[in-house]
A and B are shown apart, each in its own frame.
Chain A
Amino acid sequence: MNPPALLPLDDAHARHAAESIGRLRRVLQGVLFGQNDLIDLVIVGVLARGHVLLEGLPGLGKTELVKGMARALDLKHKRVQFTPDLLPGDITGNPVLEEVDGRRAFTFQPGPVFANILLADEINRASPKTQSALLEAMQERCVTVMGQTHPLPNPFLVLATQNPIELEGTYPLPEAQLDRFLFKVDVPAASVETLERIVLEREIGVPPEVPCVIDAHALTTLQDEVRRVYMPPPVANFIARLVAATAPTNPLAAGVRYGASPRAALALSAAARARGLCQGRINASYEDVRDVALPVLRHRLVLDYGARLEGLTPDGIVARLLDAVPAHDKPLPTSLKAAKV
């Protein structure tokens, strides 16, 4: 039985949502200087109920961004520094033997995963067992300990980071687990202007003032409104063709060993809707898909050895696919050419 149809979002609601998101964006831009694209993607990830994997050097402001977002959204946030000796219970929580009513019994002590926003720092340093515990929580949005399932708070967002250097003793996330992240975002180094502004406006040990602009309820409402953003069939077709083009059998995806999964298509759809709402629109568009395609797909493509030896990167392949796969999938006759608009 099909679920009941959602009412589409109307323009007024979309505009109101966009204004709220704009306020959040502006606040976060005051927290993290010169990383507007990163902020936008994180906001989109939050609205799309996705998790974001941030990859960048230490000290670029990832933790500040998470803290700032938690304050701006008035959400509970936790930070876990992943190490090789970190155990799953250190994240999910452990049963503790306590005396209750004269009887000794195990009571569940929730771990740091029980927060609205969890910053999993250097996630690739934990053992695969620990990683899988977190990734299960990310996917199921609940934790099961000793047969008891404990739901995670709503909203729940994991912002994990990876350090692209110092790879010795790390456990790179397997592809199946990477697939659970909505985005993988490369955090770029700050520009001179950004650094200058940081120097002028920040001090070590003094966190910036971050006002609360959206509460948890409003955030949940926004997330619901993202679901009501209309996905036109041509845009859905574009997403499908884009994801299908990542298949190794496709000549455009030469060098790809494993392509994107249907989960990638769902992720693209959700991200495109969220981005459409951020723009104040009631529908997703081809432009939204193009904008979120790179962070959605880059960690879902596994390249073969030859491609890696040639220096190909997932980013390059996704960019090639975006150039090659048009929104309008039919060719034009030779007597016509597409106009450059």
Chain B
Amino acid sequence: MDVTLADQENINHFSRLNTKVHEINAKLKALKAAAEDIEEAENELMLAEDEEVPYLVGECFFHLEKEVAEARLQEAANEGTSQCAALSNERASLLKQMAALKKTLYAKFGNAINLEE
């Protein structure tokens, strides 16, 4: 059983997709952590009695009215959710392509090839 050029291209493609999935996983993890931070900040703001709160923008804490700060947090949360959704979609499509390649390659090479992680 020999490897043809088409097989080699399939293997290369699979390896590329695998790298991308790993990168997306890392990004999703970071986004999730950020989302948790935002949620925590939102909860804190809800309890806060102050009219103004220091809000970190860039390197400085701007003193913003509570409502303004809440709106900014909401915006950041929405942005995070949509990024998360986009990445999850991309990941799903990559995984689908990988599953198809796995099927083809395992059908030909059986145990002689290992395509996990």
Co-complex (A, B):
no
Binding site for B on A (CB under 8 A): none
Interface residues of chain B, those whose CB is within 8 Å of chain A, are none
